């Protein structure tokens, strides 16, 4: 079993599935493992382009799609901005404050009741990694006011 918690493991998986290890792929995988989580395609492209300015955003998107297909990445929608990507080995849920935009990473077990109810009542299997629950963080709630209007 390939360890997807390391850049080397991800590169090995790509090779095992017939993928070429191009410069853009290597740099993208390195960017994914370089500090921080929840990076947009544009942020990843900028990181890659520091070392390889000729790599286009479309190349980044194609590689992100392939890495997601292989189970390396998960993309999430955290509010109204672009999708962000994080490693599937570190999958988690998200709570996003509609007022300040802050994101809280939560264990998937927090969604247990929702997941069970969706499956029991509707036969629906929820992917808790893909979406965020919107609301208000404790600090914004304490500051007063309600949920901002859409």
Residue 84: Cβ-neighbour burial (10 angstroms; 0-12, 13-18, 19+):
buried
Structure pTM? 0.80
Q: Residue 21, by phi and psi: left (phi above 0), alpha (psi -120 to 50) or beta?
A: beta
In CATH terms, 92-142 corresponds, of 3.40.640.10, 3.10.580.10, 3.30.1490.190, 3.40.50.1010, to 3.30.1490.190
List the domain boundaries for the chain: 7-74, 92-142
Fold held by 7-74: Arc Repressor Mutant, subunit A (1.10.10)
Q: How confident is the model at residue 133 (pLDDT cuts 50, 70, 90)?
A: confident
Query: 59-113: per-residue pLDDT in tens?
Result: 999 999 999 999 999 898 887 778 889 888 777 888 989 888 888 888 878 888 9
Vertex 27 angle, CA 22 and 29, to 5°:
95
Query: 6-41: per-residue pLDDT in tens?
Result: 899 999 999 999 988 999 999 999 999 997 778 999
Among 125, 127, 126, 92, CA closest to 110: 92
């Amino acid at each position: 079993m390939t360890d997807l918690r390391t850049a080397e493991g991800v590169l090995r998986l790509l090779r095992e599935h017939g993928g070429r290890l191009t410069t853009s792929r290597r740099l993208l995988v390195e960017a994914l493992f370089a500090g921080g989580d929840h990076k947009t395609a544009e942020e990843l492209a900028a990181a890659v382009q520091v070392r390889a300015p000729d790599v286009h955003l479309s190349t980044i998107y194609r590689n992100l799609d392939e890495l997601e297909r292989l189970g390396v990445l998960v993309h999430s929608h955290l509010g109204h901005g672009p999708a962000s990507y994080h490693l599937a080995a570190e999958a988690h849920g998200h709570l996003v404050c509609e007022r300040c935009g802050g994101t809280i990473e939560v264990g998937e077990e927090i969604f247990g009741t929702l997941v069970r109810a969706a499956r029991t009542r509707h036969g629906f299997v929820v992917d808790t990694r893909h979406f965020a629950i919107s609301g208000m963080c404790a600090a914004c709630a304490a500051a007063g006011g309600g949920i901002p209007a859409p």
